[in-house]
Amino acid sequence: MIKRFLYSQKVAPYVFVLPFILVFLIFWAYPLGSSLTMSFQKMTLGQEAQWIGFDNYTKLMGDTVFLKAVINSAIYMVLTLAILIPFPMLFAVLINSKFMWGREFFKSSFFFPALTSVVVAGTIFRLMFGEMEGSLINSILGMFGIDPVKFLKGQITGYIALVALATWRWTGVNMLYFLSGLKNISEDYYEAASIDGASKFQQFTRITMPLLKPTTIYVLTISIYAGLAMFIESMMLWNGNNSPKNIGLTIVGYLYRQGIEKNNLGYAAAVGIVLLAITMIINLTQLAFSGMFKKED
Amino acid sequence: MKKETAIKIVLFIFFAIICVLVLIPFYAVTIASFKPGEDLIRYGLNLRFDISAMSLDNFAYLFTGEHSYFSWFFNSVLLTVVQVALTLIISATVAYGFSAYEFKGKNFLFICVLLIMMVPFEILLLPLYTLTYNIGLMNSYSAIILPGIASAATIFFFRQYLSGIPKEIISAGRVDGASEYGIYIRLILPVMKPSFAAMAILNGMNSWNNFLWPFMVLSNANKYTLPIGLKTLLTPYGNNYDLLIVGSFFSILPIFILFVAFQKYFIDGMTAGAVKG
C-alpha cells in the first residue's frame, strides 16, 4: 500500500525534490528567518535572548566603524566592477579574433589564478605587497627610483592591494564568461556590417556590446554580490580581521567581528540584514535598468 | 596580408605581457619554496633566482618533518570527495524531479532555487553557526556538507542539461513497466554522465578551496582542512614560512594537474551559469 503510494506518478516528483525542500527549509529559510529575529534581539551564544526592538538598527546607524566597513565594501565593489567588466570583455573579444595566436594557451593561463584558494592567493599577495625594499612590488617600484611603500598601512595603497588580488583571480573567469557569450553571436552580423562599411570599432559598439548584454548582466550581478560580500581576501591580506584604522574592514568582516569575535549575535545579525537589503536594492535596480533598456530595443 | 601579420604580432605581444603578469605570483611562490623561510622574512617575497640560496630543504621538511600538513591534505581530499559525490547525486535527483514532472508547487519551489543563488551566503553565517551549535554538529564534517548538499547552482545546471534529453525515454520506460525511480536510475542517470564531469569539477574546486564556513565550524585541529591548516601557520607571533610557502605550492599542484587533464570540463563548469544567465 505504502509502496504503491510512493511509486505513483503523483507522489514521485515530491520524493525527487524532497532533499531540496528539506535543505531549503532547514539551512536557508530557517536561518534567514532567525537572522531577522536575532536582529531585534540582544543575544549571545548559549544564553536566553532578549527582545530590544529596533535598538540594534538605531545603534548601527550611528556606528562609525560600521560606516567605515560599508564605505570600504562599496569602494571595493565599484573598483572591481570598473576593472573586471570592461577588461575581460575586451580580452575576450581580442582573444576570439582570427588574428590570435596561442588562443588556448592564453585562455588557460588567465584562468589559472582562479584555481587557487583565497588563503593561498591572499598569502602570496600579502607577501608581494610587503613593505620591505626587497618585496616584489617594492622592488619593481625601486627600479623606477620610487621609495618602498607600506602598502598595507595606507588606505589607498590598501585598496590597490585588494583590487590587485581580485583582478588577478577573476579576470580570467570573467573573460571565459564573455567568451561563452561571444560564441552565441552569429558571424553573419559581422559580415553584413563589413559589407555596409562599418569599422571594427563600430562593429564592437553596435554588434558585440549589445549582444553581450545578457552575459554582462550576469557578470555584473555576481560581481556586485561578490564585491559587497568580500571578507576573506581582506582577512588574508592583513593576517586577521584587524587592519590599521580598519582600512581593510568590510561589511562581512564587521559581521564576523561582532558575531564571532565579540559574541554579539543580535547586533551582527542586524549587520547581515542591512547587507542583504543593500545587495537586493542594488541588484534589483540594476536588473530593472537593464530591463528598461530592453523595451527600448 | 602584411597588415594581418602585424596585427597578429602586436596582439600576441600584448597578451604575452599580461600572461607574464598573471604568472608572476606563481613564479614567485615556486622559487620561494626552494629558499629558506628566513630569506623571506629578511628580504621579502621576490623574483630573484639565486641558485646558491636554493635547496630542497623545504620539500624535505614537507615530506619528513613533524607537522600536520598531510593530515590536512588528507582531510581536504576526503571532505572534497564525499562532498562532491553527495552533492552531485542529490542535486541531480532534485533536478530530475523538476525537469521530468509537472506538479503542484513546482514553480514556487524553483523560485526558491533561484532565491538561494541570489542571497549572499555570508548573511546566513551566524544563524547557521547557532543552528549548528544547537543541534550539536559543531566540529563535524556533516555541518560543512549538509547545508550545501542540494546545491542551487548545481540543480540549475542539471535541469538545463536535462531539458535537452527527449521525454520519450521516460514514456518508453513506463511502457516497459519500469517504476518512476527505476526510470531515473537505469535510463536517465547514464545519459546524464557527461554533465557530471563539469559539475564535479566546479563543486570540487569550491570544496577544495572552501575556507570561511569550515573555519568557523571546525575547532579540532585534527579535523582541519588544508586552507585552515595553512592559515594556522600565520600567527601574530611569527609565521612558519618554511612550511607555509612550500605547502601553498604543493596545495596548488593537484588542482593544476587536474586542470591540465580536464581543462574542457573546468571551463564548461565555470561558465555553466552564464550560458542561459
Under DSSP, the state recorded for A131 is S
> Is B8 within 8 Å of chain A by CB?
yes
3-class SS string, A147-174: CCCCHHHCHHHHHHHHHHHHHHHHHHHH
Q: Is A77 on the interface with B (CB under 8 A)?
A: no
Cα A269 versus chain centre, distance: 20
Strand partners of residue A42: A50
pLDDT at A280 over 50: yes
Nearest CA in chain A to B235: A239
Contacts of B138 in chain A (CB under 8 A): none
- The DSSP symbol for A146 reads P
Q: How many domains does chain A have?
A: 1
Give me the pLDDT at residue B239, please: 76
Q: How many CB atoms lie within 10 A of CB B171?
A: 11
Among A6, A23, A129, the strongest candidate for a mutation testing the B interface, having the largest count of B CBs within 10 A, is A23
Cβ-contact A54, A231 below 8 angstroms: no
Select from B74, B86, B231, B59 the least CA-distant residue to B144: B86
Cβ-based contacts of B275 with chain A (< 8 Å)? 180
Cell digits for A182? 561571444
C-alpha distance from B64 to closest chain A C-alpha (Å): 22
Nearest CA in chain B to A171: B22
- pLDDT at residue number B274: 53
| Residue A68 belongs to a domain | yes
Q: Name which residue leads in pLDDT, A295 or A122.
A: A122
pLDDT tens readout for residues A214-240: 889 888 988 998 999 999 999 999 988
Buried b / exposed e across A240-256, counting CB within 10 Å, b at 16+? ebebeebbbbbbbbbbb
Per the CB < 8 Å rule, is A30 touching B26?
no
Residues of B in contact with A134 (CB under 8 A): 43-44, 46
pLDDT band at A297 (very low <50, low <70, confident <90, very high): very low
Judged against a pLDDT cut of 90, whether residue A270 lies above it is answered with yes
CB spacing of A20 vs B211 below 8 angstroms? no
Q: How far apart are the first and last CA of chain B?
A: 39
Q: Chain A contacts of B211, Cβ < 8 Å?
A: 117-119, 232
- The model carries a pTM of 0.90
Question: Which tens digits make up the pLDDT trace of A137-181?
Answer: 999 999 999 999 999 999 999 999 999 999 999 999 899 889 988
**Closest to B152 (Cα-Cα) out of B266, B272, B275:** B272
Residue A266 has pLDDT above 90, yes or no: yes
Q: Which residues of A touch B40 (CB under 8 A)?
A: 127
What single-letter DSSP state applies at residue B239?
E
Please tell me whether residue A51 adopts helix, strand or coil conformation.
strand
Q: Where are the domains of chain B?
A: 2-64, 69-275
Q: Which of A3, A4, A10, A16 to mutate to test the interface with B (most CBs of B within 10 A)?
A: A16
What is the average pLDDT score of chain A?
91
pLDDT 10s digit of each residue in chain B, 277 long?
688 899 999 999 999 999 999 999 999 999 999 988 888 888 888 888 888 888 898 898 899 888 899 999 999 999 999 999 999 999 999 999 999 999 999 999 999 998 888 788 888 988 999 899 989 999 999 999 999 999 998 998 899 889 888 888 899 999 998 999 999 999 999 988 888 888 888 888 889 989 999 999 999 999 999 999 999 988 777 778 889 999 999 998 888 888 888 887 777 776 665 544 3
With contacts defined as CB-CB under 8 Å, which chain B residues touch A34?
127, 130-131
Domain membership of residue A64 as a residue range: 12-296
Per-residue model confidence (pLDDT) at position A91: 95
Q: How far is CA A296 from CA A289, B164, B191, in A?
A: 11, 32, 42
| pLDDT (tens digit per residue) in A104-134 | 899 889 988 988 999 999 999 999 999 888 8
**What's the count of helices (H) and strands (E) in chain A, helices before strands?**
17, 2
Contact A255/B at CB under 8 A = yes
ipTM passes above 0.90:
no
CATH superfamily of B69-275: MetI-like (1.10.3720.10)
Which helix (H) or strand (E) segment is B57 a member of? helix B57-64
Question: Is A1 inside a domain boundary?
Answer: no
Q: Which pLDDT score is estimated for B67?
A: 87
CA dist., res. A71 & res. A239, Å (int): 21
Q: For residue A65, give the CATH number of its domain.
A: 1.10.3720.10
Q: Which residues contact B225 (CB under 8 A, 6 or more apart)?
A: B72, B75, B76, B79, B210, B214, B218
* pLDDT tens digits, A238-259: 988 889 999 999 999 999 999 9
Q: Hey, are the CB atoms on B126 and A35 less than 8 Å from each other?
A: yes
> Terminus-to-terminus CA distance in chain A, angstroms?
58
